[in-house]
Amino acid sequence: MSENYKNSSFKKLLEKLQEDSWQLELLISGFAIFGLFYAITPINNAFLEAVKGGETVFYSVLSVVRVFLYIMIFNLMLHIVLRGLWIGALGLRYISGDIDYSSLNYSHKFTKYLKRKVGSFDDYIGKLENYCSIIFAITFLLIFYVLAVFVVAILYRLIVIYIFNNDVFPEWLANGLGWTIISIFTLGSILTFIDLVSGGLLKKNNKIAKLYFPFYLFFSLITFSFLYRPLIYNFLDDKFGKRVFLLLIPFYSIILIASSFYYQKSDILSGAFETNEFIISHFHYEDSKNDNLQGVHVNFTIQSKVIKDAYLDINLPYYKSYENLIYEFNPKLKPKKDERGLHSSFYTPTISKKEETKKDSLRNEYLKTFNSIYRFKIDSIKYVSDFNINKMANEKFGFEMFIGISSLSYGKHILEIKRQIKKDSVGDKLVAIIPFWYYGKN
C-alpha cells in the first residue's frame, strides 16, 4: 500500500482529482467564509476580555489571530471570485472557442500587441486555474501558521507557570532556569520566523544550517509542521507560487491598514468616551448592554437606566488587573506562588479543611481591602462600599453590592464611583459616572 503512489494508475487518479478539485475548493471556501465571519465576534470578545484582564500573552496572540482572520476571508473571497471567473471563461470557450484576432479586424499594430500581451484564451484559463489553486493553498497554510502561533504562546505561558512559579526549586534556580529556557526558546522562535518569511534562507548556508537544525527539529515538532511541510516546500520550489504570494503581500498590508479606519459621524458627539452626566452608554446597564460588544474600559454596571426598584444593584466583573490592585494595597494577601493562569483538570490538588478555613479568612480580608479602595456617591450623598463576591454563570465571578435608594426623589440622579489612587494617599481617581432615573415607590 505504501508504494501505491509510484504506480501509474495512482498518478492518473491524482490527475483526475486535480481536474475535479475546483468543485471541492468552492464548497470548502463557502463553508470556511461562513465560519470565519462567525468567528470574528468571539475572537474580538476574547481579545477585549484579555485586554481588560491584563493577559498580555493572550491578547498579543489574539491580535495576530484577528489579522489572520481578515486575511483568510480576503483570500477565500478572492478565490471564489477568480474561480467564478474561471468557470465563466470555460463556458465562453465552449461557445466561441479561442480568440480569433483576425475576425476583430484591428490594425496590424494592435493585433500584434494583443497577441503578445493577451495571448490565447486557453492560456488565460490556465493562468486563472493556477491563481485559484495557489491562493487556496496559501489560505490553508495560514490556518496552520495561526495554530503554530497559538502553540508557541501556550508554551511561553507554561514555562512561566511551571518554571518561574515553581515551589520545588529555590527562587534563584527557578529564575536562572526559567530565563535560560525563555532565551533559547525566543531565539528559536525568531530564527524559525526568519527562515519562514525568507523562504528557507537559514537552510542554505552550511555553517548556519548546522546551528539552526536543532531549532528546526524542535519547532517542526511543536508546530505540527509534518502535516503541512510538503505543501510549503512544493510551494517554495515553484516560481509562479512565490510570485503570487509576493503580489498578495501589498493587499495584506492594505487589509491591516484598512482595519484601522472608522467613520466619524460628528465633530462634537463622536469619539471614544465613558458615560458621564451628559452621555448615556448602554454598557453601564445590565438590561441593555450587549455582551458581544463590551467596551474595553467600561466595567461598573447597574440593573437599568430607569430604576423602579428601591435599590441599585451595582456589579463589577472580575479581572486580573483588579486583583493586582488589591495586592498593591495589601501585600500580605499576595501568595508566594501565583496560581493564576492555565491549569489542567487532570490534576486537582486536595485542599484540607485547615487550608479551606485559611482561604475563607483570606477571602474576607480580600473583600475588606477591595471595599476600602472604592468610594460611592449618588448626587451629593456618600455611601459605604459593601461588595460581596458574586458567582455568575459559566464559571465566572465578580463583585456585587446593593444601595437602598427609596429616599431619592423622582427623576435623574448621578452615581459617581471613585477609586483610591495609591495606598496611604488621599487622592481618588474617577472611574465611572452612571446617570439613572428613579421612578420607584417612595
**Residue the block writes with cell 471563461:** 89
Residues 245 and 337 in one domain: no
Predicted local confidence at residue 292, as pLDDT? 46
Q: Can you say how many angstroms the Cα of residue 138 is from the centroid of all Cα atoms in its chain?
A: 20
The pair phi, psi for residue 414, each rounded to 5°, is -120, 120
Domain contains 16 = yes
Q: Among 154, 152, 228, 222, which residue's Cα sits nearest to residue 190?
A: 152
437 has a pLDDT exceeding 90: yes
Predicted local confidence at residue 436, as pLDDT? 92
Q: Considering Cα of 149, then 154, then 157, then 163, what sign does the dihedral take?
A: negative
Residues 323 and 375 in one domain: yes
Asked if 338 and 332 touch (Cβ cutoff 8 Å), the reply is: no
Asked if 144 and 125 touch (Cβ cutoff 8 Å), the reply is: no
Residues 135 and 33 in one domain: yes
Residues 148 and 103 in one domain: yes
Residues 243 and 376 in one domain: no
Domain contains 40 = yes
**How many Cβ atoms are within 10 Å of 187's Cβ, its own excluded?**
11
Give the range among 39-43, 100-104, 355-359 with minimum mean pLDDT: 355-359
Asked if 305 and 312 touch (Cβ cutoff 8 Å), the reply is: no
Residues 379 and 254 in one domain: no
Give the range among 240-244, 284-288, 407-411 with minimum mean pLDDT: 240-244
Domain that holds residue 309: 282-438
Q: Among 313, 309, 314, which residue's Cα sits nearest to residue 442?
A: 309
Residues 233 and 331 in one domain: no
Q: Among 313, 288, 280, 285, which residue's Cα sits nearest to residue 299?
A: 285
302: DSSP letter: B
Domain contains 183 = no
pTM score > 0.85 for this model?
A: no
Residues 313 and 239 in one domain: no
Predicted local confidence at residue 291, as pLDDT? 52
How many structural domains compose the chain?
2
Predicted local confidence at residue 306, as pLDDT? 92
How does residue 1 score in pLDDT terms, banded at 50, 70 and 90? very low
Domain contains 200 = no
Q: What are the tens digits of pLDDT across the range 79-136?
A: 888 888 888 888 888 888 888 888 888 888 888 888 888 888 888 888 888 888 888 8
Domain contains 193 = no
Residues 32 and 161 in one domain: yes
Domain contains 187 = no
Residues 304 and 363 in one domain: yes
Domain contains 85 = yes
Residues 245 and 317 in one domain: no
Q: Among 324, 423, 332, 302, which residue's Cα sits nearest to residue 373?
A: 423
Domain contains 218 = no
The grid cell for 348 is 486537582
d(CA 390, CA 397): 6
112, 115, 117, 121: CA torsion to nearest 10: 170
Predicted local confidence at residue 415, as pLDDT? 92
Residues 295 and 152 in one domain: no
